[in-house]
Chain A
């Protein structure tokens, strides 16, 4: 597949100043609220450390906890399925649906099902799939993937949504207030819960000791999707396992505070047993996670609890938009997760970062995100994923900067000096430095020339060069 050109996609996003402003303001607001929420909890840093340790312990003993979860879930009366990859996951879900003659599925938001591209898979097989969470539904109606892992439609203004709902539902296009729009959506999706044949949720956590799949939501659609139809399916990435309810408490305290600054969401739901007369199926999905777990550089990314804090703080994400990454997971966490799935397609993502380190320091589970981004850049070079011009430019820079004579000649040849600094990377778009910015004026004399003129090579007297 063709490599995603994040920089070009970002440029398209930036050209629409209204949305760029609104997005940055909204998303930075989440970061500010996260800071305030963290400030309220005196043991915040201890919680982060503890959460990281719990995840590391669980991942280091993943097989043990997965089997414990399976046993608990079966004891509760659920059926547990194991999916090696996205295709197996989709096939399992389709088999469950078709064995029940289910034609209409309601679901609440799940990044895993986005990752597996479940919706198009089922739709091709004649299953009608309705997203029931407001943001995810908006994106579905607009035929767009999520732009943020917590708020899929964060990139849209209320006016965009008013226009969309007018187009789809015939609602008032001039009423761009969230309460009205939420009501429009509710009026159109609530009846669908009653007519659906099956309901589906993802999982924020899967508790090994209790066998419960836990969702953390505000709208309650996971509860309706999971409880109204008799057939319930939960898709769970294998890294979502945690040992027990005590550990869960640590994550509940961290998750929403990190995500939106809320102390807790409206609903923290434990799906443990099928409803009376119904069935509950849990699909445990690997889809590359075991491979990542085996990679000593990048396994830590599996600790992620999908709070989106790294995205909210990322200056590049906020000015690029979520779609620019061309990926299920975007922003800093996306940069370190996606290349493992397709190195060629996502080879530019590690470069969509200033490596400023903010992401790693808001991460509630201490993932060294910015260090992993840095490492992924090296991986791209090692795997021949640099363009030939970039590779050549790096070689030239390395040759010039490792030889004092060559460097001095370049630095002191006036106009050439201008080129050397941006020259490190002028491989990509010619003279990019000058397009949105001015190039610094080169001085008449470098520091080195001044030192040589006034003090000399050994610092005792002038003139030697």
Chain B
């Protein structure tokens, strides 16, 4: 199987370790991974702002870079949600459709394709909270949402994190409320975005855990920037860093 690794722009620029952990983890699991060298971004920043015309060329570049792969894997539910469900700025071609239907968020790929049962190389002896993004929950269906109380409970990211030796997962209030990031929303409505983010940190802080793990680094980037009083005590980690044993 041909697997193309998508490294979202904000991970490329701000969190290269997350890219390295994702690549390392996939290779450790025996996957041969290509990193298409001319990749940039999925187009979401423009499309999500309503700028579809402006997103077209970026989406089409993505299609050119990735249409040759059987699986396209990205450590970002938000980007995958865009590519899978909202990828309409690019011209409608068989290649675009292929890309939309063959892109996987890392937890989905690990759970549903590779069916990974253990991470024996990883150990993380800490109490953590798991923040799963709205894109992953309500966009990709990686976890039961609180809005639908009759659905049987499951969580793909949590099922992975639970397999890491030493991890204790703490619960916190309003676990699947949005963190307030919302892409460009966090800039145009930065006061509201910060208020939501600080409330999220307040709820997490009350659990006693100081490690915040998420399969979406964009939420963590936002939370990391919030001016919460406990901010200095929190550690923000992408799920891939924990699963690959890169976080101690």
Interface positions of A (Cβ within 8 A of B): 6-7, 10-11, 14, 20, 24, 28, 35, 38-39, 42, 44-45, 313, 315-316, 319-320, 350-358, 360-362, 374, 376-381, 386, 390-391, 394-395, 397-399, 401-404, 407, 411, 417, 420-422, 424-426, 428-429, 432-433, 435-440, 442-443, 445-452, 455, 457-459
Contacts and interface: CB of A to CB of B under 8 A. Distances in A.
Given A315-B178, A315-B180, A401 B58 contact: yes
A35 B175 CA distance: 14
Interface string B81-94: 00000100000000
A282 to B, nearest CB: 36
B11 interface: yes
Nearest to B225: A437
B145 A361 contact: yes
B188 A404 contact: no
A357 B178 CA distance: 9
Contacts of A429: 187-188, 190
A407 B40 contact: yes
A428 to B, nearest CB: 5
A398 B139 contact: no
A67 B183 CA distance: 47
A28 B173 CA distance: 11
Interface stretch (B31-39, B164-172, B205-213, B239-247): B31-39
Given A14-B192, A38-B149, A437 B226 contact: yes
Contacts of B20: 447, 450
B154 interface: no
B46 A14 contact: no
The 8 closest A-B pairs by CB, nearest first: A354-B182, A377-B50, A437-B225, A402-B57, A436-B194, A357-B138, A398-B54, A447-B19
B225 A440 contact: yes
B54 A411 contact: no
A421 B54 contact: no
17 contacts: A7-B188, A11-B191, A20-B195, A35-B146, A44-B149, A319-B195, A354-B180, A380-B50, A381-B53, A386-B50, A417-B14, A424-B49, A425-B183, A440-B14, A440-B15, A442-B14, A459-B34
Interface string B51-77: 111111110110000000000000000
Contacts of A390: 49
Nearest to A12: B191
A56 B186 CA distance: 35
Given A10-B189, A386-B50, A45 B148 contact: yes
Majority SS of interface residues in chain B? helix
B121 interface: no
A351 B192 contact: no
B160 to A, nearest CB: 22
Contact of B10 (A38, A361, A421): A421
A305 B226 CA distance: 37
B13 interface: yes
Contacts of B197: 437
Contacts of A39: 149-150
Nearest to A45: B150
Contacts of B181: 354
A170 to B, nearest CB: 37
A354 B134 contact: yes
Contacts of B226: 436-437
A447 B18 CA distance: 9
B26 interface: no
Contacts, number: 239
Residue in A390, A402, A404, A458 whose Cβ sees the most chain B Cβ within 10 Å: A402
B43 interface: yes
B187 A422 contact: yes
B61 A404 contact: yes
Contacts of A449: 16
Residue in A6, A316, A399, A457 whose Cβ sees the most chain B Cβ within 10 Å: A316
B203 to A, nearest CB: 11
A402 B196 contact: no
B118 interface: no
B41 A374 contact: no
Contact of A432 (B51, B56, B149, B188): B188
Contacts of B127: none
Contacts of B12: 411, 446-448
Nearest to B42: A401
Contacts of B51: 381, 386, 391, 394, 397-398
A361 B147 CA distance: 6
A414 to B, nearest CB: 11
B147 A316 contact: no
Residue in A320, A399, A459 whose Cβ sees the most chain B Cβ within 10 Å: A459
Contacts of B150: 38-39, 42, 44-45
Given A355-B185, A361-B145, A402-B60, 5 more contacts: A38-B149, A360-B138, A421-B10, A447-B11, A451-B35
B51 to A, nearest CB: 4
Nearest to B195: A319
A14 B187 CA distance: 16
Contacts of B52: 378, 381
Nearest to A407: B40
B188 A351 contact: yes
Contacts of B95: none
Contacts of A411: 9, 12-13
A361 B188 contact: no
Contacts of B182: 353-356
B230 interface: no
B130 to A, nearest CB: 17
A440 B187 contact: no
A458 B137 CA distance: 35
B224 interface: yes
B101 interface: no
Given A394-B51, A398-B57, A447-B19, A316 B192 contact: yes
A411 B52 CA distance: 23
Contacts of B159: none
